[in-house]
Amino acid sequence: MTSLLDELSAIAGEAFAAEGYPTGLGTVQPSDRPDLAQFQCNGALPAAKIAKGNPRAIVDKIATRLKANPIFSQVEIAGPGFINLDVSDEALARRMGALATDECLGAPETGKGKTVLIDFGGANVAKPMHVGHLRSSVIGDSLQRLFRADGWHTISDVHLGDWGLQMGQLISEIGHRGIAPIYFDPGYTGPYPQESPVSMEDLEEIYPAASAACKADTARLQEARRATAELQVGRPGYRALWEHFFKVSRVGLEREWDSLGAHFDLWKGEASVEPLIAPMIEDLKARGLAVESEGAVIVPVAEPTDKKEMPPLILVKSDGAVLYGTTDLATVIDRVKSHDPDLILYVVDQRQHTHFEQVFRAARKAGYCGKAQLEHAGFGTMNGPDGKPFKTRAGGVMKLYDLIAMATEEAEKRLAEAGLAAEYPEEERKDIARKIGIAALKFADLSNHRTSDYVFDLARFTRFEGKTGPYLQYAAVRMQSILNKADSADFTRGERVVLHTPEERGLILQLLALPNAMAGAEQNRAPNILCDYVFTLAQIFSRFYTAHHILSEKDDALRTTRLALVGLTLSVLTKVLTLLGIEVPKRM
Ligand code: ARG
């Protein structure tokens, strides 16, 4: 189903074409002055430039053509050559009927036949997820849902950080502690125990200790580097330990993502491209793209037009270890070979921007991208009240799991304050609180443009008023309860939609604008566009609800129309919340 805006643009485009101007001039947009008109078309001024003619004469001709089309109830010339447009109530009613029977609610099919691969940021093995990973998961998940709804084939990869120095640090710390000597015995050739010598909790304690030891003592750092390099060339005991790290971490990480309701398709990581690295470096060297420099192997990626200095991509350090730039480059090869995507989107902290620029340039120079466009969809940080990245009260990194628990607790408080869900069974109330807590976190995160930083303020995020996730959940629950109370005959009374009031028209226009919000959010990789859209929808609905009788409306046709509007608004609201990864409780 084409969107209303596209249909109007096509009609205006034809009018311009009939007068000998480019069709593109017919682009119609929502009016800047909704008090004067629903839509506007500004093409006559550029047309006058092309024809070196008088805009007024041109706009007259275009307006005359548009007036002949019954879809418009008003065509008015404004200012030097703008055209204000209103769509007739009949046309709106017809469109509303079409929307109600469209399973996809008018979703644009921008991704038809295309594949996008979404990189979920690269949380690290052996470290608990922290709030920085909240943003990757929340934004990545929402983008994946949006692209899928727009018809793309989506593949998401967690891309675990499992091959770098932190692995060597863990290994050497475990060696020092003498926890599992068998893995360090050069005379032993396996098999190694099935059972991991360390649990996720152990790793959470061992990793910070290892990292501190390396910071305090360069000898320990050297040792960790050596262990990293030995792991990477395949020393069996280290490799076996690494597998244990990966497995126990996966259990912990899965718990976090499950609780967020974020899912991805591939559990790959940096290590999974290990076999591709040596041949890739060979290839790059053979073609003169990679060169030796002070014992390291680098790919120079600076370009003459660079305004800022662009350092080379380091593939191999002088101690023989590879970095995550190396694995990221090899991963491009792997992804292109396995999935041949049209787009690879990296949903990773904005501070990694230079890193990705280096990797992308190297990939393009080497011709590794296939048809894929490589793009970094960076994001800002979630800050504490001090304006610095959010920490626990004790100053440590806040784990995602604890953050979700905190949000759930706050949501329970809010429910109690509002006197909601009080008489429901304990288990249901807990489930509602969890859904509200997660909605609060996700909506607060997604409603800012992803590149801006924002301040964590749980009290504000969990409020039932204002631009919050819980407000929207509550709005949906209220709509559902109106529908529950309606007489079933009201839904079957026929297709006759009767529109009378500006509130009804305003609501329909917003419902019909969903495809444009989805297309805009996709184009800009910006779920905040969906947040704005859905918040505006809830506000417009609230105006409609205040201004009209619904269940108590005596006129059958009006009651049926208004209930249909409630039903459609609920469908659209729920759909957009789903795109944001937010669930609506059945009742509250
Ligand atoms: N694991 C790295 C880190 O936490 C980020 C890796 C970025 N690359 C990627 N493909 N996601 O710093």
Q: What angle do CA 45, 49, 52 make, to 5 degrees?
A: 125
Beta strands 28-30 and 296-299, pairing class? unpaired
Q: DSSP 3-state assignment of 346?
A: strand
Q: Return the amino acid letter for 355.
A: H
Assess contact for 60 and 5: CB atoms under 8 A: no
Instruction: State phi, psi for 37 to the nearest 5 degrees.
Output: -160, 165
Q: Which atom of ligand 1 approaches the CA of 331 most closely?
A: 10
The pLDDT value recorded for residue 321 is: 87
Please tell me the predicted confidence (pLDDT) of residue 126. Answer: 84
Q: pLDDT tens digits, the chain, 588 residues: what are they?
A: 889 999 999 999 999 999 999 999 999 999 999 999 999 999 999 999 988 888 889 999 999 999 999 999 999 999 888 999 999 999 999 999 899 999 999 999 999 999 999 999 988 888 878 888 889 999 999 999 999 999 999 999 999 999 989 999 999 999 999 999 999 999 998 899 999 999 988 998 999 999 999 999 999 999 999 999 999 889 999 999 999 999 999 988 888 889 899 999 999 999 999 999 999 999 999 999 999 999 999 999 999 999 999 999 999 999 888 999 999 999 999 999 999 999 999 999 999 999 999 999 999 999 999 999 999 999 999 999 888 888 877 777 788 888 999 999 999 999 999 999 999 999 999 999 999 999 999 999 999 999 999 999 999 999 999 999 999 999 999 999 999 999 887 777 656 788 889 999 999 999 999 999 999 999 999 999 999 999 999 999 999 999 999 999 999 889 999 999 999 999 999 999 999 999 999 999
CA 208 vs CA 56, 166, 215: distances in Å: 72, 10, 10
Q: Is 327 in the pocket of ligand 1 (CB under 6 A)?
A: no
Q: Alpha carbon 365 to chain centroid distance?
A: 29
Identify the pLDDT of residue 493.
62
> Would you call 189 exposed, middle or buried from its count of C-beta atoms within 10 A (0-12, 13-18, 19+)?
exposed
pLDDT of residue 489: 76
pTM above 0.85, yes or no: yes
- pLDDT for residue 161: 93
Site to probe by mutation for ligand 1, drawn from 155, 334, 348, 379 as the one with most ligand atoms within 8 Å of Cβ, is 348
Is the CB of residue 122 below 6 angstroms from any atom belonging to ligand 1? yes
For residue 160, give the ligand 1 atom closest to its CA: 1
Which residue minimizes the CA distance to atom 7 of ligand 1?
Answer: 122
Dist CA 394 CA 421 (whole Å):
34
pLDDT at 170: 96
**Cα separation of the two ends of the chain:** 35
Q: What is the pLDDT of residue 495?
A: 62
465 by Cβ neighbours in 10 Å (0-12 / 13-18 / 19+) ranks as: exposed
- Domains of the chain plus CATH, in order, are 4-87 (3.30.1360.70), 165-260 (no CATH), 409-579 (1.10.730.10)
* CA–CA separation, 469 and 440 (whole Å): 5
Report in angstroms the alpha-carbon separations of 302 from 188, 282, 286, 367, 532: 47, 21, 20, 17, 39
What is the rounded distance in angstroms from the CA atom of residue 218 to the CA atom of residue 369? 39
If DSSP codes are grouped into helix, strand and coil, which group holds residue 456? coil
Q: Are strands 313-316 and 296-299 parallel, antiparallel or unpaired?
A: antiparallel
Question: Is residue 124 in contact with ligand 1, taking CB distance under 6 Å?
Answer: yes
Cα–Cα distance measured from residue 387 to residue 510, given in angstroms and rounded to the nearest whole number: 36
Ligand 1 atom 6 nearest Cα = 122
Alpha-helical runs (H) found in 486-527: 489-492, 502-512, 514-523
Residue type, 205: E
Residue with the two structure tokens 């152990």? 202
Q: Is the CB of 410 under 6 A from ligand 1?
A: no
- What is the Å distance from ligand 1's center to 161 Cα? 6
Tokens of 142: 């929402």
Strand-strand pairing, 82-87 and 153-157 = unpaired
Report CA(342)–ligand 1 centroid distance (Å). Answer: 21
Best mutation site among 130, 167, 324, 327 for ligand 1, i.e. most ligand atoms within 8 A of its Cβ? 324
Ligand 1: centre distance to CA 269 (Å): 9
**Which are the contacts of 394, defined by CB distance < 8 A and separation ≥ 6?**
none
Which residues does 83 contact at the CB level (< 8 Å), separation at least 6? 12, 40, 41, 42, 44, 59, 62, 63, 66, 75, 76, 77
CA angle, 396 then 402 then 407, to 5°: 120
User: With a 6 A CB cut-off, is 328 part of the ligand 1 pocket?
Assistant: yes
